Structure 1
Amino acid sequence: MNRTVLVLMMAVTVEALVEYAKTFGNRSSALQSYNSQLSAAEQQKMAYQMQLEQALANGSAEILQNKYDTLQNLDNAYAQQILALQQAAAQAAQKRW
């Protein structure tokens, strides 16, 4: 082979390798970027899920606390009124018979 042809072939081969390396490097970089973004999105999703679960737990606890507070605030007057109502209903039922 002619020396010029051999040098030209080597230059083309080196150039092809450089292009291949650039292409492969770009793909590798793109894949790495995609994986990083995917990981970040997954972490954000997990954070949102934890916030939602915490909000639901807090909401449930608040509802139960409100019910408990309401029951604590009931005094004997309420129970006496219910008892009087039941007695009045029983007396009315007896009168009808």
Structure 2
Amino acid sequence: MASSSPLASIADDSQLLPLSDGESSLSSVIYELSQQVQSGMENMLKMISEIDQSSGGIIEEIEKCKDSALERKRTLEEEKERFQKAAYSVLDMLNNREN
């Protein structure tokens, strides 16, 4: 029994035709390229994930250092005030002694 329409018969035949050598090698190149691109994208996603994890640790360390620096600054300010008070006290004692 024949196909219901001649166009359907042509479409069916074109799907069964083997690819020419040029088309076959082009398909092979495109397939290989798509595999390489996919592999590259997967590697980039892994690297992005690693970078995110590392940057989280780095940000944590920066915050710790920042807190430590602020604490050290407060300590130095307090020491500076104590030394200034001590210096003013010595100056006052020397001035009172001369008078």
- The share of aligned pairs that are identical, in percent, is 9
Question: Structure 2: which 5+ runs fail to align?
Answer: 1-16, 76-81
How many residue pairs match? The answer is 78
Matched, 1:55 2:26: no
Aligned to 1:16: 22
In structure 1, distance between residues paired with 2:57 and 2:86: 48
In structure 2, distance between residues paired with 1:48 and 1:35: 20
Question: Structure 1: which 5+ runs fail to align?
Answer: 1-9, 71-78
Normalized per residue, the structure richer in helix is 1
**1:1-97 correspondence to structure 2 within 5 Å:** 13-62=19-68, 86-96=88-98
Aligned partner letter, 1:56: I
Shift of 1:42: 1.9
CA deviations 1:28-69 (Å, max 9, x no partner) are 11111111112222221221111100112233335556788x
In structure 2, distance between residues paired with 1:42 and 1:83: 55
Shift of 1:27: 0.5
TM-score normalised to the size of structure 1?
0.54
In structure 1, distance between residues paired with 2:34 and 2:22: 18
Higher relative contact order (CA 8 A, sep 6+): 2
